[in-house]
A and B are shown apart, each in its own frame.
Chain A
Amino acid sequence: MSDLLLKVSGLNKSFFGVRVLRDVGFELTRGSVLGLVGENGSGKSTTMNILGGVLTSDSGRVELAGEEVAPANSRDALALGIAFIHQELSLFPNLSVEENIFLDHFPRRTGRLPFINRRILREQAKKALELIDLHVSPATQVMRLPQGERQLVEIAKALTRQARLIIFDEPTTSLTARETERLFEIIDRLRGQEISIIYISHILGDVLRLCDNIVVLRDGRVVGTGPRPDFTIERLVTLMVGRAIDQLFPERDPGSPPRSTALSVRNVSQPGIVKNVSFDLKPGEVLGVSGLMGSGRSELARILFGLDPYSEGEIRVGEARLPPLAPRQAMDKGLAFLTEDRRGEGLMMEASITDNIVLPSIVERSSGFLYWLKPTALGEAARGVAERVRVNTKAIERTAVRTLSGGNQQKVVIAKWLLRAPTIFILDEPTRGIDVGAKYEVYKIINQMVAAGAAILFISSEIEELIGMADRIMVMGRGEVRGFFERAQFDREALMKAALWD
């Protein structure tokens, strides 16, 4: 039981000059379960991606059963006996269970001929499914299985590859309570078979129940490690969030809160996505939205802006009701939405800054019933907002957005919405992946807008940022509102607990 399977030491990794892992190290014995916890962006995924062969480290050592390894891709990792079960499962819904399990090592008929031996395939798949207590026909299409069973198929796949180490990344987020129970039973059984597990989860209760040892990461560093009895939920939360505030936030006049409501959301639900979300957003207010990844924050934002449907409830802007799936109407009512996916959804990467900025306003700013474009006027307007947000380049007509830094790209996205002078601005992770200086400028722009009477819905994974910027914070979890915190009640641990507890 006590022999060492995995030893990680001195792991470092940087992305674009930003260090995301600093000297990470931990050990894992055979047949034990290691819990890995930390906030979003604390380096959990990066560490696991290095083990799973998705990324390579800048420096550091990974030893598997005493041998140094450096898997270059997931295939390598699998050959070494490391199976990584991602949050987004990598099964193919159009193939059957058995085909998914054996996709890259089908049992073959005689010798070199490339024909699948269906009989052996069926037998081996049945055996693998029995190991995990999944009683479905191996010929079932994965499309027809519920999420929980798909997860089990992934485990079966790992087992047929003689995995020695299985990494689970947030395995329970889309499972029902019963499916979760079943998963834990199977993990227990795997432990008995000398298979080691790394279990990543935000659900601290599960981690404490399941794991033999726990490693806590914060800002890419190991800040706590030890056997399970050393930890309580309180201690884990303290370790996860306990960091000094290293960002400054620009001053803002609190002003007197207006009585009117800019955006009113009542009992908005969409099956499987959000449930009974209600809140009011006032002009001149910054409402922070906190929650873990997958808590429904971004999904709520998309619903509010009309990009995704909602089946129940009501969204009102002033007196007018916003129907589902009507982004154009939402824009006309003064809504703007800064997406978390800047490259994919927020910008046309190859187009110029000007073209990006004028895009959402192009109809309103054209003339006559034929909507002639007015390039000069549009260019002027774009220049105006670009200067307001201080985009760091002069030649905005000729500079492709692709060539800008992350911070400047984000400013372009903000500028394009500013041109429409929105009264309600939904910001989904506006400072993700931009440097400290640019962050500060984004905060200043937000404050300017608030001073001008705009209402801001500020979604962020960084609790400090919300504490620094928001008037109120709404915490979400599993698609529901977990609670509201007024400025006087802002406390990192309390916010984190609200997000974590079920």
Chain B
Amino acid sequence: MSRLDSRTLILIALRLAPLVLFVVLCFAFGLFSDRFLSLANFRNILTQSTHVAVMAIGMTFVLLVRGVDLSVGSVMYLVAVVMGLYLSDVSLFVSIPAIMLIGGVFGAINACFITGLRIAPFIVTLATLFIGRGFALYLSETKMVFQSDTVQALGRTSFIGLPWAIWIAAVVVVAAWITLTQTPYGRQIYAVGADPDAAGKAGIRVRAITFSVFCICSVCAAIGAMISVSQVGAAAATFGYQEEFPVIAAAVLGGTSLFGGRGGVFGSVFGAVLVQTTSNGLVMLNANPYLYPLVNSLIIFVAAWVDGRRRILTERLEQRKIRVEA
């Protein structure tokens, strides 16, 4: 049985790979920049990674049922535009529920095509990626959309020593963690991701669950948009552009499988921090900005490769046996 053990060991090693990557990166950046390894900088990284973390949590729900949502970056821009243009005079107690509603509706549209017409999530969200951004650009006339003072204040001020962004992210983290681990709904999400057919046979409402996770993902994207736009103060036409990449990368780096059924909230938060650490470190090193996409895609590649290896290994562990070796 030693071979089985070595497989389990490899699985553990693969699970730890992103953590090792994180340590190596911190070490490397710290070596070349004395400012990198400071408390202030880590606080900075944490604050900057909050919007990716929140969106990655939403993405985790979708990935868990074997889906993917490419439209999160467009939701981000759409929400930022609506907030700046139409919700600048209302209080946050109105605007926050309003943008969550927008996110929910956007997600419901995605979900309708996916569960109703049974079109692949990749295709549907690729289409809504363009539709969402197109509609938002129509609203903004491609002009810079500035945010109200209340929104900007949210990005600048703190509460008990921590920026509001971190508090908001913490609320999302806790809510998502409770949903995924402490409710029947959450456990059923995992079941659907592991085997949709078997889940259906076990009496789980597979389509309803699939529908709901896309709504959750877009709501999270809307919250992420608010956090991000409060930090930068205004939304340019490129706001949220290609943001789906770091978001998916964060979730996958955090151990959420692209093949469904495996992953969790804290992993995705860690993934978001890892992604942000890389960007931050590259800035600290004064690296050539044209290198950023290369480094980022390398990280995504590593994440996807690790995920693929893990899947192959767990599949082998799962393989059906015909005969039982004595």
Indicate if the CB atoms of B182 and A99 lie closer than 8 Å.
no
Q: A92-B195, A103-B188 are in contact. Are A115 and B182 (CB under 8 A)?
A: yes
Indicate if the CB atoms of B201 and A274 lie closer than 8 Å.
no
- How long is the Cα–Cα vector from A86 to B231 in the complex, in angstroms? 55
Chain B residue at minimum C-beta to C-beta distance from A295: B322
A147 contacts which chain B residues (CB < 8 A)?
321
In whole Å, how far is B318's beta carbon from the nearest beta carbon of chain A?
A: 6
Interface: A271 (CB within 8 A): yes
Cβ-neighbour of B323 out of A93, A115, A116, A275 (below 8 A): A275
A299 contacts which chain B residues (CB < 8 A)?
322
Interface: B187 (CB within 8 A): yes
Interface: A430 (CB within 8 A): no
Indicate if the CB atoms of A272 and B203 lie closer than 8 Å.
no
Indicate if the CB atoms of A94 and B194 lie closer than 8 Å.
yes
- How long is the Cα–Cα vector from A99 to B188 in the complex, in angstroms? 9
Which one of A8-16, A55-63, A171-179, A200-208 is at the B interface? A171-179
- How long is the Cα–Cα vector from A173 to B324 in the complex, in angstroms? 9
Interface: B286 (CB within 8 A): no
Indicate if the CB atoms of A116 and B184 lie closer than 8 Å.
yes
Indicate if the CB atoms of B187 and A116 lie closer than 8 Å.
yes
Interface: B6 (CB within 8 A): no
B322 contacts which chain A residues (CB < 8 A)?
173-174, 272-274, 294-296, 299, 478-479
Chain A 69-91 near chain B by CB (<8 Å), digits 1 or 0: 00001110010000000001011
In whole Å, how far is A203's beta carbon from the nearest beta carbon of chain B?
A: 13
- How long is the Cα–Cα vector from A475 to B283 in the complex, in angstroms? 69
Indicate if the CB atoms of B203 and A106 lie closer than 8 Å.
no
Indicate if the CB atoms of B321 and A116 lie closer than 8 Å.
no
Q: A93-B318, A272-B321 are in contact. Are A99 and B187 (CB under 8 A)?
A: yes
Chain A residue at minimum C-beta to C-beta distance from B324: A176
In whole Å, how far is B260's beta carbon from the nearest beta carbon of chain A?
A: 9
- How long is the Cα–Cα vector from A465 to B197 in the complex, in angstroms? 34
Indicate if the CB atoms of A93 and B194 lie closer than 8 Å.
yes
A90 contacts which chain B residues (CB < 8 A)?
195, 198, 201-202
Greatest chain A CB density within 10 A among B178, B183, B261, B319 is at: B183
Chain A residue at minimum C-beta to C-beta distance from B325: A271
Indicate if the CB atoms of A479 and B261 lie closer than 8 Å.
no
Instruction: Report how many residues on chain B are interfacial, defined by Cβ distance under 8 Å.
Output: 30
Chain B 163-206 near chain A by CB (<8 Å), digits 1 or 0: 00000000000000010001111011011011100110111100
In whole Å, how far is A120's beta carbon from the nearest beta carbon of chain B?
A: 13
Interface: B238 (CB within 8 A): no
In whole Å, how far is A371's beta carbon from the nearest beta carbon of chain B?
A: 30
Interface: B314 (CB within 8 A): yes
- How long is the Cα–Cα vector from A211 to B202 in the complex, in angstroms? 28
Greatest chain B CB density within 10 A among A78, A104, A106, A175 is at: A104
Interface: B139 (CB within 8 A): no
Chain B residue at minimum C-beta to C-beta distance from A98: B187
Indicate if the CB atoms of B184 and A94 lie closer than 8 Å.
no
Interface: A119 (CB within 8 A): no
- How long is the Cα–Cα vector from A34 to B182 in the complex, in angstroms? 41
Chain B 274-315 near chain A by CB (<8 Å), digits 1 or 0: 000000000000000000000000000000000000000010
- How long is the Cα–Cα vector from A465 to B202 in the complex, in angstroms? 38
B193 contacts which chain A residues (CB < 8 A)?
94
Interface: B317 (CB within 8 A): yes
Indicate if the CB atoms of A175 and B324 lie closer than 8 Å.
yes
Chain B residue at minimum C-beta to C-beta distance from A175: B324
In whole Å, how far is A208's beta carbon from the nearest beta carbon of chain B?
A: 22
B185 contacts which chain A residues (CB < 8 A)?
114
Chain A 271-286 near chain B by CB (<8 Å), digits 1 or 0: 1111100000000000
In whole Å, how far is A502's beta carbon from the nearest beta carbon of chain B?
A: 11
Indicate if the CB atoms of B323 and A480 lie closer than 8 Å.
yes
- How long is the Cα–Cα vector from A93 to B188 in the complex, in angstroms? 13
In whole Å, how far is A271's beta carbon from the nearest beta carbon of chain B?
A: 6
Indicate if the CB atoms of B323 and A296 lie closer than 8 Å.
yes
Interface: A436 (CB within 8 A): no
- How long is the Cα–Cα vector from A271 to B316 in the complex, in angstroms? 12
A95 contacts which chain B residues (CB < 8 A)?
187, 190-191, 194
Interface: B262 (CB within 8 A): yes
Indicate if the CB atoms of A115 and B178 lie closer than 8 Å.
yes
A271 contacts which chain B residues (CB < 8 A)?
325
Cβ-neighbour of A94 out of B202, B262, B321 (below 8 A): B262
Interface: A19 (CB within 8 A): no
Chain A 160-191 near chain B by CB (<8 Å), digits 1 or 0: 00000000000001111000000000000000
Interface: A143 (CB within 8 A): yes
Cβ-neighbour of A272 out of B183, B202, B204, B323 (below 8 A): B323
Q: A94-B194, A94-B262, A275-B323 are in contact. Are A116 and B182 (CB under 8 A)?
A: yes
A115 contacts which chain B residues (CB < 8 A)?
178, 182-183
Q: A92-B190, A93-B318 are in contact. Are A118 and B323 (CB under 8 A)?
A: no
Q: A94-B262, A95-B190, A116-B182 are in contact. Are A143 and B318 (CB under 8 A)?
A: yes
**CB-CB contacts below 8 Å: A282-327 with B:** 294-296, 299
- How long is the Cα–Cα vector from A478 to B322 in the complex, in angstroms? 6
Indicate if the CB atoms of B323 and A106 lie closer than 8 Å.
no
Indicate if the CB atoms of B187 and A103 lie closer than 8 Å.
yes
Indicate if the CB atoms of B321 and A174 lie closer than 8 Å.
yes
B187 contacts which chain A residues (CB < 8 A)?
95, 99, 103, 106, 116
Chain A residue at minimum C-beta to C-beta distance from B186: A116
Cβ-neighbour of A103 out of B191, B262, B320, B324 (below 8 A): B191
Indicate if the CB atoms of A114 and B203 lie closer than 8 Å.
no
Q: A114-B185, A115-B182 are in contact. Are A92 and B323 (CB under 8 A)?
A: no
B318 contacts which chain A residues (CB < 8 A)?
93, 143
In whole Å, how far is A103's beta carbon from the nearest beta carbon of chain B?
A: 6
Indicate if the CB atoms of A74 and B190 lie closer than 8 Å.
no
Greatest chain A CB density within 10 A among B195, B262, B324, B325 is at: B324
A173 contacts which chain B residues (CB < 8 A)?
322
In whole Å, how far is B271's beta carbon from the nearest beta carbon of chain A?
A: 19
- How long is the Cα–Cα vector from A92 to B321 in the complex, in angstroms? 17
Chain B residue at minimum C-beta to C-beta distance from A89: B198
A479 contacts which chain B residues (CB < 8 A)?
322-323
In whole Å, how far is B181's beta carbon from the nearest beta carbon of chain A?
A: 8
Indicate if the CB atoms of B182 and A78 lie closer than 8 Å.
no
Chain B residue at minimum C-beta to C-beta distance from A108: B184
Chain B residue at minimum C-beta to C-beta distance from A180: B324
Indicate if the CB atoms of A78 and B203 lie closer than 8 Å.
yes
B319 contacts which chain A residues (CB < 8 A)?
272
Indicate if the CB atoms of A94 and B190 lie closer than 8 Å.
yes
What would be 26 A-B contacts, judged by CB atoms less than 8 Å apart?
A90-B195, A90-B198, A90-B201, A90-B202, A92-B190, A93-B314, A94-B194, A95-B187, A95-B190, A95-B191, A103-B202, A106-B187, A108-B184, A115-B178, A115-B182, A143-B318, A147-B321, A174-B321, A176-B324, A272-B322, A272-B324, A273-B321, A274-B323, A275-B323, A275-B325, A478-B323
3 tightest A-B contacts by CB? Answer: A75-B203, A479-B323, A272-B321
